[in-house]
Structure 1
Amino acid sequence: MPDTVRGVIAREKDAPVETVDIVIPDPGPHDVVVRVDACGVCHTDLHYREGGINDEFPFLLGHEAAGVVETVGSAVTHVAVGDSVVLNWRAVCGECRACKRGKPQNCFDTHNASQPMTLVDGTPLSPALGIGAFADKTLVHEKQCTVIDSDTDPAVAGLLGCGVMAGIGAAVNTGAVGRDDTVAVIGCGGVGDAAIAGARLAGARTIIAIDRDPRKLEWAKDFGATATVDASTEDVVERVKELTGGFGADVVIDAVGRPETYKQAFYARDLAGTVVLVGVPTPDMTLEMPLIDFFSHGGSLKSSWYGDCLPERDFPTLLDLYRQGRLPLERFVTERIALDEVEQAFAAMGEGNVLRSVVVR
């Protein structure tokens, strides 16, 4: 039978979020109902609330989640009732042109639940990134679930569902940071600090953290930054070059996603270096630069969707590194909050007071 639970929705553009009753339908053949034990408050959720993703209101927010499978559809084989899982928004289809070319990390037709969750009056909800996990329960496709050990802290594990995976993957998968590389990361929030942690795991020699907030620069050191640049007082490009022997960094990761930070990333890299854009721009942003500079600098300009990850491959690996003490995932969890405190968490995010607020049961 359908289940009525609490959920956090964005009803219209820029309006404060609301905690309301929502209806979870019975799962279709390949759907599962997951009890949500923890869900991180990601900047992408704020983008949804502000209308920066699309205008398909009302949205059921939340997507960076971990929980336990409660109910499964008739044809589900990927998970079982009682499994502890991390939810993901790249449930690869295996059939699209990217998958058939051996690049499932670029899957263009990822799986989602077969039917919408709704408000009590029947209004369909648009789940953030196909998940919608600021709720007591959510409905997803079975392939959106990655099984993890049941004793893993869900507040920590859930962060792999988006921000931490996006940042680590931007460094390791998209940027292909290697041993002895020099790396610069612009923006030291959750994604940027994850990119720093990823660069450290990959063996980078120099890791430069760049931000306008001194508190965030201090946090970045905990994740492996070897040098910091205060963008509010220093010339980012010149300072990065000073810290890399006058050349620029081998890999520069823009975890902000604004035209001005992208330009900094472009000019702060070494000749033939790599720029990785993992911060999410809004649809109105544009970039104007001399075309000759793209030609003369060479190298690679890449966008990183979800850190170019494969959840079934990468989530267990990162959790193993966490258990080994090599990846401090717990440091990303700044505070644990209740479901009805999401709006306050957005405010804390805007003030730069947190890496991650995490909604917990």
Structure 2
Amino acid sequence: MAQKVRGVVALEKGGPVSVENIVIPDPGPGEAVVRVQACGVCHTDLHYREGGINDEFPFLLGHEAAGVVESVGDGVTEVAPGDYVILNWRAVCGQCRACRKGKPQYCFDTHNATQKMTLTSGRELTPALGIGAFAEKTLVAAGQCTKVDRRARPQVAGLLGCGVMAGIGAAVNTGEVGRGDTVAVIGCGGVGDAAIAGARLAGATTIVAVDRDPRKLDKAREFGATQVVDARDIDPVEAIRRYTGGFGADVVIDAVGIPETWKQAFRARDLGGTVVLVGVPTPDMEAPKLPLLEYFSHGGALKSSWYGDCLPSRDFPALIDLYLQGRLPLDKFITEEIPLDDVEGAFDRMQRGGVLRSVVVL
């Protein structure tokens, strides 16, 4: 039988979000209903509210979530009721050309639940990133549920569902940071700090953090930055070269995603070095013009990192294990824990700066 629960909805472009009663259908084939325990407030949710993703309003917001599977539909074998899971927005298909090549992290046909959640009026909701987890319960494809060790608090576990995974994966999976490497990270918000933590896990010896906010640079040190650069006062490219013996970094991660920072990343890498773009550009942005000879003469690689090139079934449990071993400081990402009706306030605090992650606790 369908259930009515509370959820945070963006009804119109640019308007404040509101807590609404929503209808969750029983799970159909390949689907699961998850009782949400905690969900991080990500900048992507704000993009949805502002119409920066698409115009398929109303949106059921929230996607960085952990919770417990309540029920599953026919044919579901990945999870069972009672399983403790992190939700992901890339349920792999297992059949596309990437999956058949043994690279499911690049699946070209990821999917979400088939049925729609609705307002009580019957108006269909678009769940953020196919999840919609600012709600007491949500309906997802079963493949969007990844079982993890339940000893990890949901406030912490859910963060791997998006931003933290994107940053760690940008360093470990996409950038392939190795022992002894030098790394620079431009932009020290949640994703950038996660990239710093990932580089530290991978064994980087020099990790240079770049930002324009001294508060963020202080936080970057907590995640493992060995040097920090205030880009308001210092040329980031010159500083990164100075901290890497004059050569530039082996891996430079752009966690901002604007032409200026991408150009800085390109010029701050060593010969044969790698640039990783994980900050999300807006549709109107274009790559900066650079002499083609600069591309040729530097060698190396220019990569984009989508969701940290992660495979949730592989990466989520492993990162939770590292957290439980005390090797991955996920707790440091949480600035505040808030109730469901404070999401609009969290957006405001996010825009004013100083908040790394607000987490809704249900």
State the TM-score, normalized to the length of structure 1. 0.98
Q: Give secondary structure in 2 for the equivalent of 1:110.
A: coil
Superimposed CA distance per residue, residues 223-275 of structure 1 (whole angstroms, 9 cap, x where no aligned partner): 10000000111111111111111111110101111111111111111122111
Equivalent position of 1:70 in the other structure: 70
For 2:295, the equivalent position in structure 1 comes to: 294
- Unaligned stretches of 5+ residues in structure 1: none
Aligned length: 361
Structure-2 residue corresponding to 1:83: 83
The amino acid across from 1:162 in the alignment is: C
- d(CA) in 2 for partners of 1:247, 1:151: 44
Counterparts of 2:88 and 2:157, CA distance in 1: 11
- Superposition map of 1:273-352 within 5 A: 273-292=273-292, 293-352=294-353
Q: 1:53–1:282: 8 Å Cα contact kept in structure 2?
A: no
Partner of 1:170: 170
SS at match of 2:322: helix
> Which amino acid is the alignment partner of residue 24 of structure 1?
I
Alignment partners' CA distance in 2, 1:82 and 1:167: 30
Aligned counterparts, 1:103-114, within 5 A = 103-114=103-114
SS of equivalent residue, structure 1 residue 275:
strand
- Tell whether the 8 Å contact from 2:254 to 2:265 is kept in structure 1 after alignment: yes
Q: Which residue of the partner structure matches residue 3 of structure 1?
A: 3
Write the distance in 1 (CA, Å) between the matches of 2:80 and 2:9.
28
Measured after TM superposition, the shift of residue 291 of structure 1 is 4.2
Q: Where does 1:86-97 land on structure 2 (aligned, <5 Å)?
A: 86-97=86-97
Q: Which amino acid aligns with 1:346?
A: F
2:313 alignment partner, SS class: helix
Alignment match, 1:223? 223
Which whole-Å CA distance do the structure 2 matches of 1:240 and 1:82 have between them?
48
Q: CA deviation at 1:84?
A: 0.8
Is 1:46 the equivalent of 2:46? Answer: yes
Q: Contact 2:209/2:227 (CA < 8 Å) preserved in 1?
A: yes
- Tell me if structure 2 keeps the 8 A contact 1:65–1:87: yes
Shift of 1:106: 0.7
Q: Contact 2:152/2:324 (CA < 8 Å) preserved in 1?
A: no
Contact between 1:35 and 1:70, CA under 8 Å: does it hold in 2? yes
Distance 2:36 2:121 in 1: 23
- Counterpart code for 2:193: D
| 1:205 and 2:198 correspond | no
2:295 is paired with a residue whose SS is: helix
Supply the distance in 1 between the matched residues of 2:245 and 2:151 (Cα, whole angstroms). 46
Taking structure 2 as the reference length, the TM-score comes to 0.98
Hey, what does 2:356 align to over in structure 1?
Answer: 355
Q: Percent identity?
A: 74
1:173 Cα deviation (Å)?
Answer: 0.2
Offset, 1:149: 2.3
Q: Which amino acid letter does the alignment assign opposite residue 355 of structure 1?
A: L
SS in 2 for 1:77: coil
1:352 Cα deviation from its structure 2 partner: 1.7
1:110-125 counterparts in 2 under 5 A? 110-125=110-125
What is the CA–CA distance in structure 2 between the aligned matches of 1:117 and 1:106, rounded to whole Å? 28
Distance 1:47 1:265 in 2: 25
How far apart in 2 are the matches of 1:18 and 1:264?
A: 40
Equivalent residue letter for 1:308: D
For 1:56, the equivalent position in structure 2 comes to: 56
Q: Matched residues in 2 for 1:10 and 1:345: separation?
A: 14
Amino acid at match of 2:246: G
Report the RMSD for the aligned CA atoms in angstroms: 1.1
Q: Which consecutive segments of 4 or more residues in structure 1 shift more than 6 A?
A: none
* Gaps in structure 2 of 5+ consecutive residues: none
